[in-house]
Each structure stands twice: as C-alpha cells, then as structure tokens.
Amino acid sequence: MNNFKTLNKEYINKHQYFTARRDSYETPTGKIVDPYFVVEMPDAALAMAITENNEVLLIKQYRHPIDAVSTELPGGFIDDNEPLETAVARELMEETGYEFKSYHYLGKTYANPGVLCNATHMFLAKGGKKVAIQSLDANEEIEILFKPLEEVRQMLLNNEFKQSMHALCVYYAFNQLAK
C-alpha cells in the first residue's frame, strides 16, 4: 500500500532533542509534495506506575511550551539502542526513585504524525518500591504525587491529563487492569 516515494531530505536543524528537515515526496498518483516539514525527536517511554501500596505515581512539572505546570506520568526519551523496558525502568528510577516488579507493554502511539516522527511506548508498571532518590536532568524540577487508582480514573474522565499520550497510557492501563 505504501507507494509513496521520498525524493529528498534536507536537514534544516540537527539537535539531540529537535531535528527539523525539509522533505519532498511523490504520491502514488505522481503528485510531488514539496516542501514537507518533519520534526525528528527520539522515541519516548512512559508508564502508569503503581506502587506496592496500590497508589499511582504521578509527577508535576513545568512545561514551558504551554506555560503551565502539568500533572503527568513519569517517562522520557529512549537512549539509542536502549531496550524499551530498560528505558522505562530507567526513567521511572530517575524521576521518582522507584523500582518496579513488573512491566506490561501497552503499545505505542504517535503524538502528531503529520509533523513528528517519534513514537511513545506505553507501559503499566506494578509493584513499585522506593529504592533511591530522584536523579533529575539539569532542566527538570519534578514533584512526585501519590494518588489512589480511583482518583486517577476520575482525573482521566475529567480531562485533567493535558499530555495526550499520558492520557492514552492511563486509559490503556486501566483496560489492562480490568482484565
């Protein structure tokens, strides 16, 4: 089905977390689309993480692009050639100091495939126990929240997760828990 042909890729900006390129491509009917702009970012992993006390770990952090503090799931970018489960475990440890007994892969999603090419890999992590202190990146200031499952479900229903991939992960996690 994919009979689209990339004709050209020209990098406008290359940065670890933001690469922009100008592409051109040909459709199956021969139409040339030029320019088409693509933003490359690393894939990410996140989890609805449940502690051994059956509380969901959420984080609050400032998000400059929307000039707001956001309540989210812990997660972040996947390093080159890093296995998905290793990446989500690392991110949970760095952002919360918690280690988890099990990880269930919920799937992947794309935030905006019309412009962005990265995927977000979603997990349900269970059996979390505090084993370390936070080890945050230089630009991170993260507050950890502990919420009962039912409160998190209500947050989802009340549209309190402004990060769409996080809301989708919470939705899929609750579906997995119901099985």
Domains of the chain with bracketed CATH: 5-40 (no CATH), 44-178 (3.90.79.10)
pLDDT of residue 17: 78
Is residue 27 within 8 Å of residue 44, measured between CB atoms? no
pLDDT of residue 2: 78
Which has the closest alpha carbon to 68: 166, 160, 150?
160
Pairing of strands 119-130, 44-51: parallel
In which residue are the tokens 């693509």 written? 38
Query: How many alpha carbons lie under 13 Å from residue 10 in its C-beta half-sphere?
Result: 11
pLDDT of residue 1: 60
pLDDT of residue 58: 98
From CA 62, how far away is CA 151, in angstroms rounded? 22
With a CB cutoff of 8 Å and minimum separation 6, the contacts of 98 are 49, 51, 57, 92, 128, 129, 130, 131
pLDDT of residue 93: 97
From CA 130, how far away is CA 97, in angstroms rounded? 6
Which has the closest alpha carbon to 137: 90, 99, 170, 100?
90
pLDDT of residue 136: 86
Two tokens, residue 53: 């006390």
pLDDT of residue 164: 94
pTM: 0.92
Is residue 120 within 8 Å of residue 87, measured between CB atoms? no
pLDDT of residue 105: 98
Residues of the chain with pLDDT under 50: none
Q: What is the CA radius of gyration of the chain?
A: 18
CA 112 to chain centre: 12
What are the tens digits of pLDDT across the range 102-129? 999 999 999 999 999 999 999 999 999 9
